[in-house]
A and B are shown apart, each in its own frame.
Chain A
Amino acid sequence: AQSVAQPEDQVNVAEGNPLTVKCTYSVSGNPYLFWYVQYPNRGLQFLLKYITGDNLVKGSYGFEAEFNKSQTSFHLKKPSALVSDSALYFCAVVAGTYKYIFGTGTRLKVLA
């Protein structure tokens, strides 16, 4: 069965520091991987996706993610965090069908 794990409920980082939000997945077959962000009282917004090709994917708002097949991970990263990056982040995987499986989310808090 497909699954996604986001092992950290919350990540705290100081403004200006690099941030990492972790995601691991379990699928049979080639995964399609996504990151979404949810701001309070707003719908989920697409950040980036990995389909095939280069393992380093760049997305919106300066975010990037690295696909690591051997570690079955797709961690979200940003070189320099902003207070405005504080939000709820979800990793999702699709494999085999077009059914998305979302993780439980990681709350990112960027401290000024």
Chain B
Amino acid sequence: DTGVSQDPRHKITKRGQNVTFRCDPISEHNRLYWYRQTLGQGPEFLTYFQNEAQLEKSRLLSDRFSAERPKGSFSTLEIQRTEQGDSAMYLCASSVAGTVGAGEQYFGPGTRLTVT
């Protein structure tokens, strides 16, 4: 078990460029979450997949953001036409569907995005 991995770990981009991040969850986990975290704040929910289906998407997620999990394994998060306000740590987490309630999440190390 290698845990949740994210790539890249750091990304610096110019305003207006598109960026794509990848998340590889723990292999037997069927749920995958994306969060955004800014300094001094807790993780902020962006979207959630169960297998390949995107079941919930935050209203905070503008149409510049899109996420996919094509085969129910890895996931990508794309941000189009980046803005300086997109600068943050993007976290991925995975979990197993619990038999009772929500299962604990396992987080990756995050991708730190800086938009200049």
- Chain A interfacial positions (CB closer than 8 Å to B): 4, 32, 34, 36, 41-46, 49, 51-52, 90, 92, 94, 97-105
> Contact at A100–B107, with CB atoms within 8 Å?
no
What are 27 sample pairs from A and B whose C-beta atoms fall under 8 A apart? A4-B42, A32-B101, A34-B104, A36-B107, A42-B109, A43-B91, A43-B107, A43-B108, A43-B109, A44-B107, A46-B105, A51-B98, A51-B100, A51-B101, A90-B42, A90-B43, A94-B102, A98-B31, A98-B48, A98-B50, A98-B102, A99-B45, A100-B33, A100-B102, A102-B42, A103-B42, A105-B42
* A27 shortest CB reach to chain B, Å: 12
Q: How far is the CA of A19 from the CA of B82 in the complex (A)?
A: 42
> Contact at A101–B104, with CB atoms within 8 Å?
no
* Further contacts, 7 of them, CB under 8 A, given A32-B101, A90-B43: A43-B108, A52-B100, A94-B102, A98-B48, A99-B45, A102-B35, A102-B42
- Interface 1/0s, chain B 30-43, versus A by CB < 8 A? 01010100001111
CB nearest to A47 among chain B residues: B104
CB neighbours (8 Å) of A105 from chain B are 40-42
8 Å CB contact of B43 from A45, A51, A102: A102
CB neighbours (8 Å) of B45 from chain A are 99-101
8 Å CB contact of B56 from A4, A44, A97, A104: A97
- Chain B interfacial positions (CB closer than 8 Å to A): 4, 31, 33, 35, 40-45, 48, 50, 55-56, 91, 93, 98, 100-102, 104-110
* A48 shortest CB reach to chain B, Å: 9
CB neighbours (8 Å) of A36 from chain B are 105, 107
CB neighbours (8 Å) of A34 from chain B are 104-105
CB neighbours (8 Å) of B105 from chain A are 34, 36, 44, 46, 100
Q: How far is the CA of A94 from the CA of B31 in the complex (A)?
A: 14
CB neighbours (8 Å) of A98 from chain B are 31, 48, 50, 55-56, 102
* B101 shortest CB reach to chain A, Å: 4
Nearest 3 pairs of A and B residues by beta carbon: A102-B42, A43-B107, A51-B101
